[in-house]
Amino acid sequence: MQRYLDYEQIKKNRRNSMIIVILFGIVGFLILYGISNYYEMGTTFTVVSLIISIAMTYITYSMSHKTVIASVGAVKADPSNPKEREMIEILNNLCRGVEIEKVPELYIMHSNQMNAFATGLSPKNAVICLTTGIIEGLNRTEIEGVMAHELSHIVNYDIRLSAVVVGMIGIISLLLEMVMRFGISRDRDNENNNAGLVYMLVIVAYYILLPIIGTIIQMSISRKREFMADAGAVQITRNPNGLKSALLKISGDNTPMEESSKIVSSLFIEETDLENRKKKRAGLFDSHPTIEERIEALDNLV
């Protein structure tokens, strides 16, 4: 049995992912139902809303990891590029010693900040994404540590929970924003608004509930899983110094992230927000432990 595989964590991640999918379907239906009431579309549209919410849930679930990649503008690694070809070779070499169904695809995100993340619904369609900054800033041993960390996330199905949460919250946010914009437009044309209460609930959801949901996201993609992925990386590479050195270099990088929403930033190996990187100890709702805490944990493994 491979030690970096946590079968209890895999089971938990699969269960939590399904719970989130079901909740998303319910929320999507309620939003569409609210729209039907707001525009007085009747019972027929309510039935249509149910069908649309089911279809939307399935599509969002199946496309969630692709949505994450598209949101950061990442592109597939080019083997004709010598540096990117080297990254592909490192990943292939690491996967030879890992119990994984398929070598993840490697994507490159054009950002000068040193960072990386993994996404996907399962090891069969997993993706590891490296920024151009991390490719240029780390040596081969350090890159191995970073990729091994992401591989640990992949084999333990951390990526499914992360991708599902990010993709579905993004769609809900888009739906609520659309309702608000259409609602404002209608209010201008119709002073007698019989569905004002519904519209007010949408406003509350958009401005109050979504930030709370964002906090829950950061908690669900928990710091414990980052510690576990660090430990898994050491077990895969059999070299704690590579990852430790990589984390120290990443933490010392003061380059801002050009493209990253707050939700997607929780997927990266380290905080994209430079202010959060300066913390000595992680706060209750932070998605990542600090580098100091992670280095301390790695030292305790030896």
User: Would you say the C-alpha torsion 266, 268, 273, 274 has a positive or negative sign?
Assistant: positive
Assess whether 150 carries a catalytic annotation.
yes
The three-state secondary structure class of 113 is: coil
Q: Could you give the CA distance from residue 99 to residue 91 in angstroms, rounded to a whole number?
A: 13
> Which residues sit opposite 130 in a β-bridge?
108, 116
Q: What angle do CA 160, 276, 110 make, to 5 degrees?
A: 60
The DSSP string of 150-165 is: HHHHHHTTHHHHHHHH
The alpha helices in 195-279, defined as continuous H runs, are 196-204, 210-220, 223-237, 240-251, 262-265, 274-277
Q: Could you give the CA distance from residue 167 to residue 165 in angstroms, rounded to a whole number?
A: 6
The DSSP string of 42-101 is: -HHHHHHHHHHHHHHHHHHHHHHHHHHHHHTT-EE--TTSHHHHHHHHHHHHHHTTS--S
Both tokens assigned to 180: 């608000």
Cα distance between the two ends of the chain: 21
Residue type, 30: L
Catalytic choice (84, 144, 150, 271): 150
Both tokens assigned to 157: 């199905």
Q: Are 134 and 114 in contact (CB under 8 A)?
A: yes
DSSP character at residue 107:
E
Q: Which residues are catalytic?
A: 150
